[in-house]
Protein backbone atom coordinates (compact mmCIF):
# COMPACT_ATOMS: atom_id res chain seq x y z
CA UNK A 1 0.00 0.00 0.00
CA UNK A 2 1.34 3.43 -0.89
CA UNK A 3 2.43 5.46 2.18
CA UNK A 4 0.82 8.48 0.53
CA UNK A 5 -2.76 7.64 -0.52
CA UNK A 6 -4.31 7.12 -2.92
CA UNK A 7 -2.80 3.92 -4.26
CA UNK A 8 -3.47 3.97 -8.01
CA UNK A 9 -4.19 0.74 -9.88
CA UNK A 10 -4.53 0.82 -13.67
CA UNK A 11 -6.48 -2.02 -15.30
CA UNK A 12 -5.57 -2.68 -18.95
CA UNK A 13 -6.48 -5.34 -21.50
CA UNK A 14 -8.36 -6.14 -24.67
CA UNK A 15 -12.11 -5.71 -25.05
CA UNK A 16 -14.07 -8.71 -23.77
CA UNK A 17 -11.40 -9.97 -21.36
CA UNK A 18 -13.50 -8.98 -18.34
CA UNK A 19 -11.62 -5.81 -17.43
CA UNK A 20 -14.57 -3.76 -16.16
CA UNK A 21 -15.97 -6.62 -14.07
CA UNK A 22 -12.50 -7.40 -12.70
CA UNK A 23 -12.09 -3.76 -11.66
CA UNK A 24 -15.29 -4.10 -9.63
CA UNK A 25 -14.25 -7.46 -8.16
CA UNK A 26 -10.91 -6.02 -7.08
CA UNK A 27 -12.68 -3.01 -5.58
CA UNK A 28 -14.92 -5.34 -3.56
CA UNK A 29 -11.94 -7.36 -2.31
CA UNK A 30 -10.19 -4.17 -1.15
CA UNK A 31 -13.38 -2.88 0.45
CA UNK A 32 -13.52 -6.07 2.53
CA UNK A 33 -10.00 -5.22 3.73
CA UNK A 34 -11.21 -1.88 5.06
CA UNK A 35 -10.11 0.23 2.09
CA UNK A 36 -12.24 2.87 0.36
CA UNK A 37 -11.82 2.24 -3.38
CA UNK A 38 -12.90 4.58 -6.18
CA UNK A 39 -13.68 3.10 -9.62
CA UNK A 40 -12.73 5.41 -12.49
CA UNK A 41 -14.46 5.15 -15.89
CA UNK A 42 -11.79 5.82 -18.54
CA UNK A 43 -13.26 3.61 -21.27
CA UNK A 44 -14.81 6.45 -23.26
CA UNK A 45 -15.14 4.57 -26.57
CA UNK A 46 -17.06 1.34 -26.03
CA UNK A 47 -20.84 1.85 -26.02
CA UNK A 48 -22.30 1.54 -22.52
CA UNK A 49 -18.86 0.91 -20.94
CA UNK A 50 -19.30 3.74 -18.44
CA UNK A 51 -22.83 2.58 -17.65
CA UNK A 52 -21.55 -0.97 -17.09
CA UNK A 53 -19.02 0.27 -14.53
CA UNK A 54 -21.69 2.35 -12.82
CA UNK A 55 -23.98 -0.70 -12.58
CA UNK A 56 -21.14 -2.79 -11.09
CA UNK A 57 -20.31 0.03 -8.67
CA UNK A 58 -23.92 0.30 -7.55
CA UNK A 59 -24.17 -3.46 -6.96
CA UNK A 60 -21.05 -3.40 -4.81
CA UNK A 61 -21.78 -0.02 -3.20
CA UNK A 62 -18.56 1.43 -4.61
CA UNK A 63 -18.30 5.03 -5.90
CA UNK A 64 -17.64 5.52 -9.64
CA UNK A 65 -15.91 8.62 -10.98
CA UNK A 66 -17.06 9.88 -14.41
CA UNK A 67 -16.87 13.14 -16.34
CA UNK A 68 -19.02 14.72 -19.03
CA UNK A 69 -19.10 13.24 -22.52
CA UNK A 70 -16.20 14.41 -24.69
CA UNK A 71 -13.62 14.48 -21.88
CA UNK A 72 -10.48 12.56 -22.82
CA UNK A 73 -9.33 9.56 -20.79
CA UNK A 74 -6.12 11.19 -19.55
CA UNK A 75 -8.05 14.14 -18.07
CA UNK A 76 -10.54 11.80 -16.40
CA UNK A 77 -7.75 9.73 -14.83
CA UNK A 78 -5.91 12.83 -13.60
CA UNK A 79 -9.08 14.47 -12.22
CA UNK A 80 -9.97 11.31 -10.28
CA UNK A 81 -6.94 11.85 -8.04
CA UNK A 82 -8.17 15.24 -6.81
CA UNK A 83 -11.65 13.77 -6.37
CA UNK A 84 -10.34 10.84 -4.32
CA UNK A 85 -8.41 13.12 -1.99
CA UNK A 86 -11.50 15.22 -1.24
CA UNK A 87 -13.71 12.15 -0.79
CA UNK A 88 -11.38 10.01 1.39
CA UNK A 89 -10.80 7.31 -1.25
CA UNK A 90 -7.47 5.62 -0.52
CA UNK A 91 -7.42 3.40 -3.64
CA UNK A 92 -8.14 4.37 -7.26
CA UNK A 93 -8.93 1.63 -9.77
CA UNK A 94 -8.83 2.96 -13.34
CA UNK A 95 -10.88 1.02 -15.91
CA UNK A 96 -9.18 1.88 -19.21
CA UNK A 97 -10.39 1.38 -22.77
CA UNK A 98 -9.84 -1.89 -24.59
CA UNK A 99 -9.81 -2.84 -28.25
CA UNK A 100 -10.71 -5.97 -30.16
CA UNK A 101 -7.02 -6.17 -30.97
CA UNK A 102 -3.86 -4.28 -30.02
CA UNK A 103 -3.26 -1.04 -31.90
CA UNK A 104 -0.83 1.86 -31.45
CA UNK A 105 -3.55 4.44 -30.69
CA UNK A 106 -4.72 2.38 -27.71
CA UNK A 107 -1.19 1.86 -26.44
CA UNK A 108 -0.35 5.56 -26.73
CA UNK A 109 -3.42 6.53 -24.68
CA UNK A 110 -2.43 4.02 -22.00
CA UNK A 111 1.14 5.33 -21.98
CA UNK A 112 -0.21 8.88 -21.60
CA UNK A 113 -2.39 7.87 -18.65
CA UNK A 114 0.56 6.07 -17.06
CA UNK A 115 2.78 9.14 -17.52
CA UNK A 116 0.17 11.51 -16.06
CA UNK A 117 -1.04 9.56 -12.99
CA UNK A 118 1.99 7.33 -12.31
CA UNK A 119 0.07 4.24 -11.15
CA UNK A 120 1.53 2.05 -8.42
CA UNK A 121 0.26 -1.04 -10.22
CA UNK A 122 -0.57 -1.78 -13.87
CA UNK A 123 -2.59 -4.98 -14.01
CA UNK A 124 -3.31 -6.71 -17.31
CA UNK A 125 -6.61 -8.58 -17.54
CA UNK A 126 -6.46 -11.55 -19.91
CA UNK A 127 -8.97 -14.24 -20.83
CA UNK A 128 -7.62 -17.73 -20.08
CA UNK A 129 -9.94 -19.22 -22.70
CA UNK A 130 -8.00 -17.53 -25.51
CA UNK A 131 -4.99 -19.77 -24.88
CA UNK A 132 -1.90 -18.77 -26.89
CA UNK A 133 -3.50 -15.45 -27.81
CA UNK A 134 -3.51 -14.45 -24.13
CA UNK A 135 0.26 -15.02 -24.11
CA UNK A 136 0.75 -12.77 -27.16
CA UNK A 137 -1.44 -10.07 -25.63
CA UNK A 138 0.48 -10.18 -22.34
CA UNK A 139 3.80 -9.89 -24.13
CA UNK A 140 2.66 -6.87 -26.20
CA UNK A 141 1.21 -4.99 -23.22
CA UNK A 142 4.28 -5.72 -21.12
CA UNK A 143 6.66 -4.42 -23.80
CA UNK A 144 4.62 -1.25 -24.28
CA UNK A 145 3.67 -0.39 -20.68
CA UNK A 146 5.70 -2.47 -18.28
CA UNK A 147 3.23 -4.59 -16.33
CA UNK A 148 3.24 -5.20 -12.57
CA UNK A 149 0.87 -8.14 -12.61
CA UNK A 150 -1.79 -10.12 -14.44
CA UNK A 151 -5.43 -10.86 -13.65
CA UNK A 152 -6.52 -14.02 -15.46
CA UNK A 153 -10.25 -14.41 -15.99
CA UNK A 154 -12.39 -17.45 -16.87
CA UNK A 155 -9.96 -19.83 -15.20
CA UNK A 156 -12.80 -22.13 -14.13
CA UNK A 157 -11.46 -25.18 -15.97
CA UNK A 158 -8.34 -26.95 -14.72
CA UNK A 159 -6.93 -27.39 -18.23
CA UNK A 160 -6.67 -23.62 -18.67
CA UNK A 161 -3.86 -23.48 -16.13
CA UNK A 162 -1.42 -23.84 -19.00
CA UNK A 163 -2.22 -20.30 -20.14
CA UNK A 164 -1.27 -18.99 -16.70
CA UNK A 165 2.06 -20.76 -16.79
CA UNK A 166 2.83 -19.46 -20.29
CA UNK A 167 1.90 -15.85 -19.49
CA UNK A 168 4.17 -15.91 -16.43
CA UNK A 169 7.05 -17.40 -18.43
CA UNK A 170 6.81 -14.83 -21.25
CA UNK A 171 6.28 -11.66 -19.21
CA UNK A 172 8.13 -12.58 -16.02
CA UNK A 173 5.47 -10.67 -14.05
CA UNK A 174 3.34 -12.38 -11.42
CA UNK A 175 -0.24 -13.53 -11.95
CA UNK A 176 -1.82 -11.80 -8.96
CA UNK A 177 -5.50 -12.70 -9.27
CA UNK A 178 -7.69 -15.23 -11.03
CA UNK A 179 -11.38 -15.03 -11.86
CA UNK A 180 -13.14 -18.34 -11.17
CA UNK A 181 -16.72 -17.44 -12.08
CA UNK A 182 -19.13 -14.69 -13.04
CA UNK A 183 -20.14 -13.70 -9.50
CA UNK A 184 -18.69 -10.41 -8.29
CA UNK A 185 -17.08 -12.24 -5.36
CA UNK A 186 -15.34 -14.73 -7.67
CA UNK A 187 -11.86 -13.20 -7.63
CA UNK A 188 -9.03 -14.94 -5.79
CA UNK A 189 -5.34 -14.30 -5.22
CA UNK A 190 -3.34 -16.61 -7.47
CA UNK A 191 -1.43 -19.43 -5.76
CA UNK A 192 0.82 -21.34 -8.23
CA UNK A 193 1.07 -24.42 -5.99
CA UNK A 194 -2.71 -24.66 -5.68
CA UNK A 195 -3.18 -24.29 -9.44
CA UNK A 196 -0.64 -27.06 -10.01
CA UNK A 197 -2.55 -29.27 -7.57
CA UNK A 198 -5.81 -28.65 -9.41
CA UNK A 199 -4.25 -29.40 -12.79
CA UNK A 200 -2.86 -32.66 -11.39
CA UNK A 201 -6.24 -33.55 -9.88
CA UNK A 202 -4.93 -33.18 -6.32
CA UNK A 203 -7.54 -30.60 -5.32
CA UNK A 204 -7.24 -27.23 -3.61
CA UNK A 205 -8.48 -27.60 -0.05
CA UNK A 206 -6.87 -24.34 1.13
CA UNK A 207 -8.89 -22.27 -1.34
CA UNK A 208 -12.04 -24.12 -0.32
CA UNK A 209 -11.36 -23.33 3.35
CA UNK A 210 -10.71 -19.67 2.53
CA UNK A 211 -13.99 -19.47 0.60
CA UNK A 212 -15.79 -20.98 3.57
CA UNK A 213 -14.16 -18.43 5.89
CA UNK A 214 -15.43 -15.59 3.72
CA UNK A 215 -18.88 -17.09 3.23
CA UNK A 216 -20.13 -18.43 6.53
CA UNK A 217 -21.32 -16.18 9.31
CA UNK A 218 -20.32 -17.88 12.56
CA UNK A 219 -22.88 -16.00 14.65
CA UNK A 220 -25.56 -17.17 12.24
CA UNK A 221 -24.23 -20.74 12.47
CA UNK A 222 -24.53 -20.64 16.27
CA UNK A 223 -28.13 -19.44 15.99
CA UNK A 224 -28.89 -22.30 13.61
CA UNK A 225 -27.35 -24.77 16.05
CA UNK A 226 -29.64 -23.52 18.83
CA UNK A 227 -32.69 -23.78 16.55
CA UNK A 228 -31.75 -27.32 15.60
CA UNK A 229 -31.39 -28.23 19.27
CA UNK A 230 -34.83 -26.80 20.08
CA UNK A 231 -36.46 -28.29 16.97
CA UNK A 232 -37.29 -24.78 15.73
CA UNK A 233 -35.53 -25.10 12.37
CA UNK A 234 -37.86 -23.84 9.60
CA UNK A 235 -37.82 -23.66 5.82
CA UNK A 236 -36.72 -20.01 6.16
CA UNK A 237 -33.65 -21.18 8.07
CA UNK A 238 -33.07 -23.92 5.51
CA UNK A 239 -33.22 -21.35 2.70
CA UNK A 240 -30.79 -19.08 4.54
CA UNK A 241 -28.27 -21.90 4.95
CA UNK A 242 -28.68 -22.99 1.35
CA UNK A 243 -27.96 -19.46 0.11
CA UNK A 244 -24.75 -19.39 2.16
CA UNK A 245 -23.64 -22.68 0.62
CA UNK A 246 -24.42 -21.31 -2.87
CA UNK A 247 -21.82 -18.59 -2.30
CA UNK A 248 -19.15 -21.29 -2.29
CA UNK A 249 -19.90 -21.87 -5.98
CA UNK A 250 -21.33 -24.74 -7.99
CA UNK A 251 -20.93 -28.35 -6.93
CA UNK A 252 -18.66 -28.74 -9.95
CA UNK A 253 -16.23 -26.07 -8.71
CA UNK A 254 -16.30 -27.44 -5.14
CA UNK A 255 -15.53 -30.99 -6.36
CA UNK A 256 -12.54 -29.60 -8.24
CA UNK A 257 -11.06 -28.35 -4.96
CA UNK A 258 -11.38 -31.65 -3.09
CA UNK A 259 -8.45 -34.10 -3.45
CA UNK A 260 -9.29 -37.01 -5.70
CA UNK A 261 -12.54 -35.47 -6.92
CA UNK A 262 -11.24 -33.80 -10.08
CA UNK A 263 -11.64 -37.02 -12.08
CA UNK A 264 -14.98 -37.83 -10.46
CA UNK A 265 -16.31 -34.46 -11.62
CA UNK A 266 -15.74 -35.46 -15.24
CA UNK A 267 -17.27 -38.91 -14.69
CA UNK A 268 -20.43 -37.39 -13.23
CA UNK A 269 -21.05 -35.10 -16.20
CA UNK A 270 -24.08 -36.26 -18.15
CA UNK A 271 -25.43 -38.24 -15.20
CA UNK A 272 -28.43 -37.32 -13.10
CA UNK A 273 -26.45 -35.12 -10.69
CA UNK A 274 -27.05 -31.46 -10.05
CA UNK A 275 -23.60 -30.02 -10.85
CA UNK A 276 -24.80 -26.56 -11.89
CA UNK A 277 -27.16 -25.89 -8.97
CA UNK A 278 -30.43 -26.18 -10.93
CA UNK A 279 -32.09 -28.18 -8.15
CA UNK A 280 -31.03 -25.62 -5.54
CA UNK A 281 -32.59 -22.83 -7.60
CA UNK A 282 -35.80 -24.87 -7.86
CA UNK A 283 -35.92 -25.40 -4.08
CA UNK A 284 -35.36 -21.69 -3.54
CA UNK A 285 -38.26 -20.85 -5.87
CA UNK A 286 -40.60 -23.28 -4.08
CA UNK A 287 -39.79 -21.93 -0.60
CA UNK A 288 -40.15 -18.32 -1.74
CA UNK A 289 -43.61 -19.15 -3.13
CA UNK A 290 -44.81 -20.13 0.35
CA UNK A 291 -46.32 -17.80 2.92
CA UNK A 292 -44.33 -17.07 6.12
CA UNK A 293 -46.77 -19.26 8.04
CA UNK A 294 -46.24 -22.19 5.65
CA UNK A 295 -42.46 -21.89 5.90
CA UNK A 296 -42.69 -21.92 9.69
CA UNK A 297 -45.03 -24.94 9.79
CA UNK A 298 -45.03 -27.32 6.83
CA UNK A 299 -48.00 -29.12 8.39
CA UNK A 300 -50.18 -26.32 7.02
CA UNK A 301 -49.31 -27.15 3.42
CA UNK A 302 -52.30 -29.20 2.24
CA UNK A 303 -53.18 -30.30 -1.31
CA UNK A 304 -54.60 -26.98 -2.54
CA UNK A 305 -51.68 -25.04 -1.08
CA UNK A 306 -49.21 -27.36 -2.80
CA UNK A 307 -50.87 -26.64 -6.16
CA UNK A 308 -50.65 -22.90 -5.51
CA UNK A 309 -46.98 -23.14 -4.50
CA UNK A 310 -46.12 -25.22 -7.58
CA UNK A 311 -47.85 -22.71 -9.85
CA UNK A 312 -46.13 -19.77 -8.17
CA UNK A 313 -42.67 -21.34 -8.41
CA UNK A 314 -42.99 -22.71 -11.94
CA UNK A 315 -42.55 -26.27 -10.71
CA UNK A 316 -44.69 -29.40 -10.38
CA UNK A 317 -46.70 -30.53 -7.37
CA UNK A 318 -44.39 -33.56 -7.28
CA UNK A 319 -41.42 -31.22 -6.77
CA UNK A 320 -43.17 -29.48 -3.85
CA UNK A 321 -44.04 -32.87 -2.33
CA UNK A 322 -40.43 -34.01 -2.69
CA UNK A 323 -39.07 -30.94 -0.89
CA UNK A 324 -41.58 -31.19 1.96
CA UNK A 325 -40.84 -34.90 2.38
CA UNK A 326 -37.08 -34.35 2.42
CA UNK A 327 -37.38 -31.48 4.89
CA UNK A 328 -39.63 -33.57 7.14
CA UNK A 329 -37.17 -36.47 7.05
CA UNK A 330 -34.30 -34.09 7.83
CA UNK A 331 -36.11 -32.82 10.94
CA UNK A 332 -36.73 -36.39 12.08
CA UNK A 333 -33.04 -37.16 11.64
CA UNK A 334 -32.13 -34.05 13.64
CA UNK A 335 -34.36 -35.22 16.51
CA UNK A 336 -32.57 -38.58 16.54
CA UNK A 337 -29.18 -36.88 16.50
CA UNK A 338 -30.31 -34.61 19.32
CA UNK A 339 -31.12 -37.65 21.46
CA UNK A 340 -27.79 -39.26 20.59
CA UNK A 341 -25.92 -36.06 21.49
CA UNK A 342 -27.81 -35.44 24.71
CA UNK A 343 -25.34 -34.55 27.40
CA UNK A 344 -22.56 -33.94 24.86
CA UNK A 345 -21.14 -30.54 23.94
CA UNK A 346 -21.63 -29.32 20.39
CA UNK A 347 -23.93 -30.40 17.62
CA UNK A 348 -22.98 -32.86 14.87
CA UNK A 349 -21.88 -31.16 11.67
CA UNK A 350 -21.51 -27.69 13.20
CA UNK A 351 -18.80 -28.13 15.81
CA UNK A 352 -16.07 -28.20 13.17
CA UNK A 353 -16.95 -24.72 11.99
CA UNK A 354 -15.80 -23.06 15.19
CA UNK A 355 -12.38 -22.21 13.81
CA UNK A 356 -13.63 -20.37 10.77
CA UNK A 357 -13.33 -16.62 10.57
CA UNK A 358 -11.46 -13.80 8.88
CA UNK A 359 -11.96 -12.41 5.41
CA UNK A 360 -10.42 -11.99 1.97
CA UNK A 361 -6.64 -12.56 2.05
CA UNK A 362 -4.46 -9.44 1.85
CA UNK A 363 -3.78 -8.21 -1.66
CA UNK A 364 -0.29 -9.20 -2.90
CA UNK A 365 0.70 -5.55 -3.40
CA UNK A 366 -0.72 -4.28 -0.08
CA UNK A 367 1.88 -3.88 2.67
Per-residue pLDDT tens digits for 285-297: 999 999 999 998 9
| Separation in Å, CA 113 to CA 12, 72, 78, 108, 117 | 11, 10, 8, 9, 6
The stretch 33-51 carries a mean pLDDT of 91
Residue 122 has pLDDT above 50, yes or no: yes
User: What per-residue confidence (pLDDT) applies to 348?
Assistant: 43
pLDDT at 235: 86
> What percentage of the chain carries pLDDT values higher than 90?
35
Q: Which candidate, 338, 333, 310, 308, places its Cα nearest to that of 323?
A: 310
Q: pLDDT tens digits, residue range 305-335? A: 999 999 999 999 999 998 898 888 877 777 7
Whole-number pLDDT of residue 146: 92
pLDDT tens for 5-29 read: 899 999 999 888 889 989 999 999 8
Cβ neighbours of residue 309 under 8 Å, at least 6 residues apart? 286, 289, 290, 294, 301, 320
Whether the model clears a pTM of 0.75, i.e. scores above it, the answer is no
% of the chain beyond a pLDDT of 70: 65
CB atoms within 10 A of CB 264: 12
Q: Is the pLDDT of residue 218 over 80?
A: no
Better pLDDT: 317 or 2 = 317
In the chain the domains, ranked by start, together with CATH numbers, are 7-190 (3.40.50.300), 214-355 (1.10.260.30)
Give the pLDDT of residue 303: 93
Identify which of 45-54, 96-105, 251-260 has the greatest average pLDDT. Answer: 45-54
> Is the CB of residue 195 less than 8 Å from the CB of residue 161?
yes
Contacts of 104 (CB under 8 A, 6+ apart): none
Residue 284 above 70 pLDDT?
yes
pLDDT band at 200 (very low <50, low <70, confident <90, very high): very low
**For residue 76, what pLDDT is reported?**
96
Task: Give residue-wise pLDDT tens across range 155-194.
Answer: 655 444 556 667 777 788 888 887 765 655 557 776 555 5
pLDDT score recorded for residue 38: 97
Choose between 96 and 332: higher pLDDT.
96
Closest CA to 322 of 283, 280, 360: 283
Amino acid sequence: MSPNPPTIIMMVGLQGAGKTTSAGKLGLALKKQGKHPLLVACDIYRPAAIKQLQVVGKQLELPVFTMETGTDAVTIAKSSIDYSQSHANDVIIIDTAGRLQIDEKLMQELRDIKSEVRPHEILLVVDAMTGQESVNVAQSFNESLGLDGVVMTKLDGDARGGAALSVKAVTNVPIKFVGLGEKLEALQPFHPDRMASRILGMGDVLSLVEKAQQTFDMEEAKKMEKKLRKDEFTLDDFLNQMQQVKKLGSLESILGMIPGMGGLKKQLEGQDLDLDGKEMRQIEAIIKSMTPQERADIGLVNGSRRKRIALGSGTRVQDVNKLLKQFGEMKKMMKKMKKMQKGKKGFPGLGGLGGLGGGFPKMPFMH
